[in-house]
Amino acid sequence: MSRTMGRVLLLALSALQLAHFSWLYLDLAWVATIPYRMTLFAVAPAFFLFSRPLLRPPILFPIRPALLGHALPVAISPLLPDDLALPLAFVVGAGYLLWLARSLYALRRERAGFHSEMILLGTVFVIAIGVSVLGLAQAALPGKLFFSLYAISIGLAFFLVQTTLGLRPQLPAEVGETVQTAYASSTLTNVDCDAVLVRLTSLMIAERIYMDSDLSLPGLAERLGLSTHQLSELMNARLGKGFSRYLRELRIDAAKAMLREEPSASVLSVGLSVGFTSQSNFYEAFREIEGMTPGRYRKLNATE
């Protein structure tokens, strides 16, 4: 659902930008057409259906009724009067933004692990609110000003989202783990958390099982005698991070030691030896955690 709606959202925003370009630079009034109106009404439901599986556990998300209900604004948009359609589209969008704000607020206890990302995505949220306000006052704005500002806002939002994912490529997976923990009742009531953490440390530090490229949350949970959800909750509650982040940090720490101590080893061989499955995954994780490439890290530490 999330992947499909993400593509729909991308196509809808791209179509809007094409219409804005045609109007602003070619004087083709595509922004006054029924397809533009329907696309405009499709953006907010598509964003909702893209975000909800990420921000709420799937069990709380009935897919088929959602598809039917959220398609309604798009279906009725051609029937609306011209002077009402565009402001109403942004009223609908504001309603979806309120849902997003409520969902993010529900995750406030877990937001410490996503501080910089929350700032960037919060900026996107502010931009969206600003566009909604401008949409309500669109008729009072001079000339093509509203569509210029709207086009700039879409482009800026794309840039900020891409920047966020560039800084933290594994963000969707980490958010998913956090959401599962935030919305579930505790499953650790009868678990000796301290003993499990000692066993976890032994597996990772002494036995170094993080080097296994096939290591997964379910597999690790089975070795610890826990369910997948119990382990996910334990790591988020006691370590302040999800499994994906925890595993990447261990692998990067091991890679850093190898880069310092084995100058003749290639960067790729270092990444593969600590559990990464490809050079690209290794580079992304290293940049995310250390803020530089493995090669740069080796060069800096070789001169010390």
Contact 36, 19 (CB under 8 A): yes
Among 158-172, 174-188, 244-258, where is mean pLDDT lowest? 174-188
What is the pLDDT at residue 50?
A: 79
Specify whether domain 243-304 bears CATH 1.10.10.60. yes
Q: What is the CA radius of gyration of the chain?
A: 24
The overall average pLDDT reported for the chain is: 80
Of the given ranges (67-71, 92-96, 173-177), which has the lowest mean pLDDT?
A: 173-177
CA 264/CA 267 separation, integer angstroms: 9
Token reading at 9: 């959202």
Rounded CA separation 105/99 (Å): 10
**Worst-scoring range by mean pLDDT, 14-18, 55-59, 137-141, 226-230?**
55-59
Higher pLDDT, 184 or 5: 5
Distance of CA 147 to the CA centre of its chain: 27
pLDDT at 248 (0 to 100): 92
Quick one: pLDDT band at residue 252, thresholds 50, 70, 90?
A: very high
Token pair of 130 as six digits: 């600003």
Q: End-to-end CA distance of the chain, in Å?
A: 50
User: What would the mean pLDDT of 27-32 be, rounded to a whole number?
Assistant: 89
Angle 24-27-32 (CA atoms, 0-180°, nearest 5)? Answer: 85
Residue 172 neighbours by CB under 8 Å, 6+ apart: 54
Cα angle: 84, vertex 86, 88; to 5 degrees: 65
Q: What is the pTM of this model?
A: 0.55
* Model pLDDT for residues 271-301, shown as the tens digit of each residue: 999 999 888 889 988 988 888 999 999 988 8
Task: Please give the single-letter amino acid code of residue 188.
Answer: L
Rounded Cα distance between 89 and 82, Å, is 11
pLDDT tens for 119-177 read 666 677 777 777 777 777 776 777 788 888 888 888 887 787 777 666 666 666 666 66
One DSSP character per residue, the chain reads: -HHHHHHHHHHHHHHHHHHHHHHHHH---GGGSHHHHHHHHHHHHHHHHHHHHHHS-GGG--HHHHHHHHTHHHHHGGGS-HHHHHHHHHHHHHHHHHHHHHHHHHTGGGGGGGHHHHHHHHHHHHHHHHHHHHHHTGGGS-TTHHHHHHHHHHHHHHHHHHHHHHH-TTHHHHHHHHHHHHHSPPS-TT--HHHHHHHHHIIIIIS-GGG-TT--HHHHHHHHT--HHHHHHHIIIIISS-HHHHHHHHHHHHHHHHHHH-TTS-HHHHHHHTT-SSHHHHHHHHHHHHSS-HHHHHHHHH--
- Distance, CA of 23 to CA of 288 (rounded, Å): 40
pLDDT tens profile 31-44? 889 999 899 888 88
Of 113 and 167, the one with more pLDDT: 167
